[in-house]
Structure 1
Amino acid sequence: MKEIEHWYDEKYDEWERLERHKIEFDITRRYMDEYITGENLDILDIGGGPGRYSIYLAEKGHRVSLLDLSKHNIKVAKEKSAERGISLEAYIHGNALELHKHEGAYDIVLLMGPLYHLIEESDRKAVVKEAVRLLKSNGIIFASFISNYAPIQDYLKGLCPIENIDDILIYLDNGENQGDKGFTIAYFTDYKEAKDLMNNFGLRERAFAGVENILGSKEKEINMLEESEYRKWLEICYQLSQDENLMGTSEHFLHIGRKNG
């Protein structure tokens, strides 16, 4: 955890990441708009980085608490929300594996970061179990995963020189990244494995999406389009996002589930 915290504190700008990856941000927000209904909801964003989604939802009038492992991300979240004239309910420096909150306290729980970084299956299960515990009956959970095809898609976007083919394909057999290949400690998952993980907790799956799907390898070109054309491609992406034939073309998966009442 210290290595991951150091990565986000000292080496990586998570706020700017979603400036570069507009497709991921816009498709995820589209799903939030579809499944987060009602007003003045209590929302907990676990591992929400500098609060991109927290701030978006707070601007809609919801009561949002942000928890993140990185002190730097929490600092940025405070600055960015102040710039927009809003304040989150809480800015919590904490560990997703060590939550101490009341059971059934939240209408919505976002788990859109921690599952990227937990190599041990037991830890991934523990985090999901705790997130579900914090949900009210019929509450909604959003959980994000990095696809084990993401390294391939990342190389394809820039047609980066390939030194060793096995370094790219290895994640299809073993999703573990030990932090020695340009990214911090991470776990890349098959979409069926991700679905199976979430199904362990009695959730009613509302949607499972391959976020970027066919747009992933053309991300830079798509981002440069004029707004009207960008929106057309984004709509195509959204309509294809639940097509299981295309799951491997995405860098991120998004599970949306409802807790049984």
Structure 2
Amino acid sequence: MPEDSTTTIRPEIINYYAHGYEEADRFAADTASAASMLEFVRIQELLRPWLPPPPAAILDVGGGPGAHARWLMDDGYTVHLVDPVPKHIDQARARGIEASFGDARHLDTPDHTYDAVLLLGPLYHLTERAERIRALNEAARAARPGALVAVAAMNRYSHFLDQAVKHTLANSDVHGVIASTMHGGVYDRPGLGFTTSYFHTAADFRDELTTAGLHTAALHGTEGPGYWILKTIEKRANIRIAIDSAEFASALAAARLADGQQDLLAVTAHLLAITHTADGMPQPQGIKSDG
């Protein structure tokens, strides 16, 4: 894909990641919060049972600076990353990752090329349902028949819970923005520490996956309810919680215990769907399908 492909992405989103937020710090061991590390650890433990054996070829769509691509490469996989933010491409290449510019809705990838496709970020910033379906269709097209397509979404209520942690909901302006996001899913107003985005309910996430022809084998609440406890401690006490601490271990245990409880999907920060492009993907040992 040509390196001016950023023209298809809303400029405020590109600007946010280029100048307003350092994505490379989110999962970095020396800078990440415990809440972010909980997400990182959980994504690894949820994906690994479903991945094909290395050195299978994986496409990481919207992979940012390459946090997931890097551990996948360390596990022995062949990974290609695409992202619409020039800064992210440079950062990924500096980590030894094969990376190119790309838009999740228009992948410059031949049909049925990859043994697994990850879509762990693009749906966050596609506010129109048709755009999200197109991105899902493109991921399915790039995957081999029956291959894993792992898709992440932001939970509809995560922005509300985040502002509750920050003690901002009594502010009438914040209250109005959050109420609107909770109702329709779209956040398109600056000022609350994020950029234009979309927040899914579990039901509309499942519906979009089905519409795109993807078969859902499992739908996980990535971080579970303990995520907000970690954020509250770090935010209010202004400390970093170590990942070898009792607090982190408890939050991780809570995420694992909550997993599979559909009512608790509403209190996680992110949803992770394990899908495949056709019937017949093997069921990993110890994981049950939720349909």
The two structures share one fold, judged by TM-score above 0.5: yes
Could you list the per-position Cα deviations for residues 12-32 of structure 1 after superposition, in whole angstroms to 9, with x for gaps in the alignment?
111212322111111111111
Name the CA distance, whole Å, in 2 between partners of 1:3 and 1:245: 34
1:217 aligns with 2:235: no
Q: Which runs of 5+ in 2 are unaligned?
A: 1-8, 235-239, 280-291
* Secondary structure of 1:45's aligned partner: strand
1:69 aligns with 2:84: yes
Equivalent residues in 2 for 1:66-145 (5 A)? 66-79=81-94, 81=95, 87-88=96-97, 90-145=98-153
User: Which of 200, 207, 215 is matched with 1:196 structurally?
Assistant: 207
- Between 220-229 and 186-195, report the one with greater CA deviation: 220-229
Name the CA distance, whole Å, in 1 between partners of 2:165 and 2:171: 16
Name the CA distance, whole Å, in 1 between partners of 2:201 and 2:169: 25
Q: Contact 1:157–1:219 at 8 Å: present in 2 too?
A: no
Counting aligned pairs with the same residue, the percent is: 25
Quick one: which amino acid aligns to residue 195 of structure 1?
R
1:167 aligns with 2:167: no
Q: Contact 1:148–1:188 at 8 Å: present in 2 too?
A: yes
Deviation at 1:235, TM superposition (A): 2.8
Give the number of aligned pairs. 254
Structure 1 runs of 4+ aligned residues shifted over 4 Å read none
Equivalent residues in 2 for 1:240-259 (5 A)? 240-259=258-277
Deviation at 1:204, TM superposition (A): 2.6
Q: Contact 2:223–2:268 at 8 Å: present in 1 too?
A: yes
Give the alignment's Cα RMSD to 1 decimal: 1.8
Name the CA distance, whole Å, in 2 between partners of 1:68 and 1:179: 23
Deviation at 1:52, TM superposition (A): 0.6
Deviation at 1:116, TM superposition (A): 0.5
Quick one: which amino acid aligns to residue 123 of structure 1?
E
Q: Which runs of 5+ in 1 are unaligned?
A: 82-86
1:227 aligns with 2:244: yes
Could you list the per-position Cα deviations for residues 205-258 of structure 1 after superposition, in whole angstroms to 9, with x for gaps in the alignment?
121011122112212348625616323531331231231111111121111112
Name the CA distance, whole Å, in 2 between partners of 1:30 and 1:61: 16
Name the CA distance, whole Å, in 2 between partners of 1:192 and 1:161: 26
Quick one: which amino acid aligns to residue 265 of structure 2?
M
The match for 1:84 is none
Name the CA distance, whole Å, in 1 between partners of 2:273 and 2:71: 19
- Between 158-167 and 248-257, report the one with greater CA deviation: 158-167
Equivalent residues in 2 for 1:6-85 (5 A)? 6-18=15-27, 19-20=32-33, 21-79=36-94, 81=95
Quick one: which amino acid aligns to residue 104 of structure 1?
H
TM-score, scaled relative to structure 2: 0.82
